[in-house]
Structures are given as C-alpha cells and as structure tokens.
Amino acid sequence: MHEQQYHDLILRALWNWADRHCAGMLDGRRRQGRPPVLQPEFAAMNVMVPPDGTHAAAIRGAVAPEQRHRWFHSMRSSQALAQSVFGAAAAFDRLDVLEGIAAECGRPAFFTDSSNWGLELEHAVNTLGERVPTSIDVLLRGPARRVAVECKLMEREFGKCSRPALNTDHPSYCDENYRVQAGRSERCALTEIGILYWQYLPRLFDWPADRDHEPCPFGAVYQLARNALAACFTADGGFDPKRGHALIVYDARNPAFQSGGEAERQWRDALAACRAPGLLRRVSWQRLAAAFAPAPDLAWLAAGLRAKYGIEHSSP
C-alpha cells in the first residue's frame, strides 16, 4: 500500500466514525485531505468507550487533560488510540488479555502472566535528568519487570534529537555528530546540560560514550533509545537492562513501518546496535485487536478499532 492510499484509507474510516458518533462536535473545517478534529471542549470524545457506557468515566479519565498531547483532539491522535485500548484494559481489569501475545521477535509482547501487574498511561520518567521528563505512553509494571509502550498510528517516523534543528548560534546546537563542538566540553549537547542519556546508552547499545561518532547514532533513533532507557529503570531508581523492555505498537498497514519506510529504517538501525536481547520488541494493533475480540467484555473495543480506524484482526 502506498502512503497516499494508506492516508486516504484511514481518513475515510475516521470521517465515517465522526459522522456517526460526533455530529456537532467537530471544528467545522474542510474535510478534504484532513482528519476530523474535535472542538477542544469535546476532546474526551476521541476516546472510545463501550456503547453502554460501562467504565466510560474511568477510560476517559485515564489521561488527565493537562497530559494530552497538542493534537489529542484530532482523530488521528495515537495518544487517543492508546488511551482507548489500554485505558479499557485497565478499567475492565483485563490485563490478562495481553498475556501470551507474541511480539514479532517471538518473545512475549507484554508478559505471560498478568498477575500483580499494573498499568499507567503517560508515565513521567524522572531519572534521566531531563528538564522535561520523558513521558511513556503506557508503562506496565510487574513484580520484577517493566514494559514501556510507545504507540504509533499514522506517524511517518520515530522522534529524532531536536538539537540539530536549533539555530546554529544556539548554545545547544549540534551538527548531528557526537563530538565536542561549539565550545562545549562534552561530546553531546544534552550531556552538557546534565541529561544522563550517555551515562546509560552504552549499556544498551553498541555506542561507546568515550569516543567520537560521525554521525551520532543516538540522534536518529532518539525516541526508540530513550524509551528503551526508561524501561530499564527499576522502582528504586536502579538501572537493569534485564528487567525491562520497550514495546512499539504500530499499524501494520502504515508504509512507514514497512520495507523502505523511515520508521522501519530507524527500527532496524536501533535493533542492529542493541546489546540486550529482547530489549526492543514490536507488535501491531491488528494483533492486539485479535486478542480483544474473543473477550466478551472487550469485543466492543475490537469492533471500535475496526469501525474507527479500519484496524482488522490478525492472528494473535
């Protein structure tokens, strides 16, 4: 499927959903080539809930309004999709539906036993020295393991380091190479301001911190590697690569995640450099939908994924 075909397919499904469920709540702008966008006061309606309203307040309240991304009220928002799916699993106390779902590498995408696991949406990571803490879409915490989940829908790529996009006279500008530059004493502009990425990155990826890299291997896979870091911090603030993994949930139809796509290239680059087997895992929304469909109390969610996003079931 070409990118434009994928784009048109999603938009058609979203507009059909909006016309049926959100009449009078949209911003009123043109329909052609853009997703439906809710008026800000109706943003919560972007989260799917059961037709009978069961646990609707808990699902829609799983992410506080101040935690919503800028474009949460757009129906292409992957954050709203993540809240619909994982908020429902938590509200219905059905984390067991995630048991045994296989990631593409064959390992469990989540866990084999959901006993004593908990779930939090928009979890802030406060152990990396960031001025704006990394926010994990979904964090699953078990007795001895953590899973940091990053959710994607129509995105073309994973987030990259923002420093090369700064003006060249900015004190934190980087020319995309990991080397001392611009009068700084550290090779990384982020290390210079006290952010601890490079204190831990060499434990997860084949990127020595004590030598130059041209180009910087972290910058191009920034979001993937940062989520991997977040997954490995323990409850007491320790760091253990054997006690966590980062999971990407993506739309299998999205050309960006297929051969030749930018997100796929980033994924392969991060995977090739990863030193910890199983640290990076990936699973499709289609596979998750297949796990929800047989559960009587979550069948509405699988139906909603099909109706709103065109996400069909695939083999679990």
d(CA 244, CA 278): 9
Residue ranges of domains in the chain: 3-161+218-309
Cα 120 vs. chain centroid, distance in angstroms? 13
Structure confidence by residue, pLDDT tens digits, 126-145:
999 999 898 999 999 999 99
- pLDDT for res 315: 55
pLDDT at residue 269 greater than cutoff 90: yes
Angle at 74 between CA 316 and CA 134, to 5 degrees: 70
- pLDDT for res 172: 97
Average pLDDT over residues 249-269: 98
Number of neighbouring beta carbons within 10 Å of residue 81: 26
pLDDT at residue 260 greater than cutoff 80: yes
- pLDDT for res 29: 82
pLDDT at residue 316 greater than cutoff 60: no
Structure confidence by residue, pLDDT tens digits, 141-155:
999 999 999 999 999
d(CA 134, CA 112): 27
| Residues 256 and 220 sit within 8 Å (Cβ to Cβ) | no
pLDDT at residue 247 greater than cutoff 70: yes
pLDDT at residue 314 greater than cutoff 80: no
pLDDT at residue 231 greater than cutoff 70: yes
d(CA 287, CA 275): 27
Average pLDDT over residues 194-217: 98
The answer for residues whose C-beta is within 8 angstroms of residue 223's C-beta and 6 or more apart is 150, 158, 159, 160
What is the arrangement of strands in the sheet containing 134-141, beginning at the earlier edge strand?
118-125, 134-141, 146-151, 244-250, 280-284
Helix (H, G, I), strand (E, B) or coil at 3: helix
Average pLDDT over residues 235-255: 94
